[in-house]
Structure 1
Amino acid sequence: MTNKILHSNIIGEGIPFVILHGFLGMGDNWKTLAKEFSSIGFQVHLVDQRNHGRSFWSNDFSYEFLAEDLKKYCEAYHLKEIVLLGHSMGGKTAMLFASLYPNLVSKLLVADISPRFYPVHHEVILEGLSALNFDEIKNRGDAEEVLGHYIPEMGIRQFLLKNLYWKEKDRLALRINLSVLKQEVAEIGEPLPTFATFEKDTLFLRGDRSEYIGIDDETIIVNHFPKAKIVTIANAGHWLHAENPKDFFEAVKGFVA
């Protein structure tokens, strides 16, 4: 196990509110909403999970490791009784963390993911990212052009391009640990262990245009999270917090207030 502490951006003062991004994302994706949450009395921790954003890279990658990383983060920052929100992959980390360390979590929020198994479905995106040759790519536009051959949706391309940074003065690179994430991509779809339960207030948020949480998932959710409520965000797909931030914020605010 590594002793490294996850990178984060901390916004505001008040009750600790930790947000975990999804696969291939980073804490900064949540910056706009974090400012809104900080305005209602929260200290928001935008955490980069391992192999993502500015956090450390490791060959070890599973929800067990991600949950343990978060525990070390809470210890390092002396966080007790956090409000915990996770999206997609971050939602699975949050579910497992809350079930393992219920005394550290006062309320749990899960955005557009169920505790069940999901088959691998990121192949094309990973193929597109693997096609980025930084010997040839000199700017963001070049990178977007390459990704365009794989990913027609502009919004998804823009989301992925946030991983670009200047490694040197004239050389771009990706912040994500692409080789490990490609190798371990099946881990992302792993179900929550059958033993995992969390007895406190839990809110699941789903996009009305997303297929990640269906009718069949409701029973699975309540089995693991007996106090769960499920709220549907209108006019939103899987990236519901970005597609309809206003309704997303109001739903979260109503739950955590």
Structure 2
Amino acid sequence: MLLNVSERGPEHPTPAGALPVVLLHGLFGRARNLGFVQRRLAATRRTLAMDLRNHGSSPHGPMNYPAMAQDVLDTMLHNTACPAIVLGHSMGGKTAMMLALSQPTAVRALIVVDIAPAQGGFDRLDLPDNLDSLAFPPHLDLHGTNDLLRPYIANDAVRQLMAQNIRQGDNPGWAIGLKDILAAMPDLMSWPQLPPGLHYDGPTLFIRGEDSAYISPANYPVMKALFPNHRLESISGAGHWVHADAPRRFTELVEDFLAHIP
């Protein structure tokens, strides 16, 4: 499956050897969620922010991490962006890890944002099971979208996250493959069983929000086993949406990591 791509790059040709950077958003997000870091990196590198399947403007279909990693690889090859440095947040981080483990020659270096290669993640969204059968009025604007979702989603941040996935104006409705996403939630919450000894030797940076529980000391052994050449950085005052809570510090860590990739 070829994914929708938002590409940005420098005004002048990139230096020889400056590999492209692929950016992968989290659950119920889209490519533009990583816009701040993409704009910063695009000053010196080619960047490709992708809508993962069932998200943004990408096609819909059944989803799991091997399939999503294959989508990313197919899209990288289609856009002549292979190998690349791959950065993924949350669900995008699990997709990036799966890509690096299954296709290591396609991933020169890996950045994983606030997610571990383990069971867990997304447990605070608290979405009702019948959200995909939501009844939409004939016309909807942003204010009306929030009013429509409020009885179903009490958390303001989660409601805003979901509101970006509703098509507004005349004939409103879900713009994402919500049925496929909800059906895949057990797979998205988990982590696939991998062959013994499988690991990725490339440079790897894990970035966690200090106020987030998605990466914990219990995850350190599997992180070490799967990604032996990794380091972990924490950002104080940041939660799960690290890049939104502390964009400048987050981008500093990413740029410093990229500067040291041989």
TM-score normalised according to structure 2 size: 0.89
The percentage of counterpart residues that share the same residue type is 29
Partner residue in 2 for 1:29: 33
Specify which of 202, 205, 209 is matched with residue 203 of structure 1: 205
Matched residue pairs, number? 250
5+ residue gaps, structure 2, are none
1:4-25 per-position Cα deviation (integer Å, ceiling 9, x unaligned): 4110100114431001111111
> CA contact under 8 A between 1:203 and 1:231: conserved in structure 2?
yes
Encode CA deviations 1:46-69: one digit per residue, 9 max, x unaligned. 1011111100011x2111110111
Cα distance in 2 for residues equivalent to 1:89 and 1:224? 17
**1:194 to partner: Cα distance:** 3.1
Q: 1:111 aligns with which of 94, 110, 113?
A: 113
CA distance in 2, matches of 1:125, 1:146: 14
8 A contact 2:138–2:172 mirrored in 1: no
2:4 matches 1:7: yes
Aligned residue in 2 for 1:218: 220
**What secondary structure does 1:51 align onto?**
coil
- Please tell me the residue identity of whatever aligns with 1:172: P
Compute the RMSD of aligned alpha carbons. Answer: 1.9
**1:66 equivalent in alignment to 2:63:** no
Report what 1:181 is aligned to.
181
Task: Say if 1:128 and 1:150, in contact at 8 Å, map to a contact too.
Answer: no
Q: Which residue of 2 aligns with 1:48?
A: 51
Q: CA deviation at 1:81?
A: 2.2
**So what's the TM-score if we normalise by structure 1?**
0.90
The worse-fitting range, judged by mean Cα deviation, of 143-152 and 201-210 is 143-152
CA distance in 2, matches of 1:130, 1:140: 19
User: Bigger CA drift: 247-256 or 174-183?
Assistant: 174-183
The amino acid of 1:74's aligned partner reads M
Distance 2:125 2:242 in 1: 22
**Aligned partner (choices 145, 152, 155) of residue 154 of structure 2:** 152
Question: 1:122 deviation in Å?
Answer: 6.1
1:217 offset after TM fit, Å?
Answer: 1.1
Superposition pairs for residues 70-89 of structure 1, below 5 Å? 70-89=72-91
Aligned mate of 1:17, from 18, 21, 28: 21
How far residue 170 of structure 1 moved from its aligned partner, in angstroms, is 1.3
Q: Is the 8 A contact 1:199 1:227 kept in 2?
A: yes
**Distance in 2 separating the partners of 1:24 and 1:132:** 16
SS at match of 1:249: helix
Aligned to 2:247: 245
Does the 8 Å contact 2:138/2:171 carry over to 1? Answer: no
Match of 2:127 in 1: 125
Shift of 1:151: 3.1
2:217 is paired with a residue whose SS is: coil
1:128 touches 1:151 (CA, 8 Å); kept in 2? no
Q: Which residue in 2 is equivalent to 1:194?
A: 194
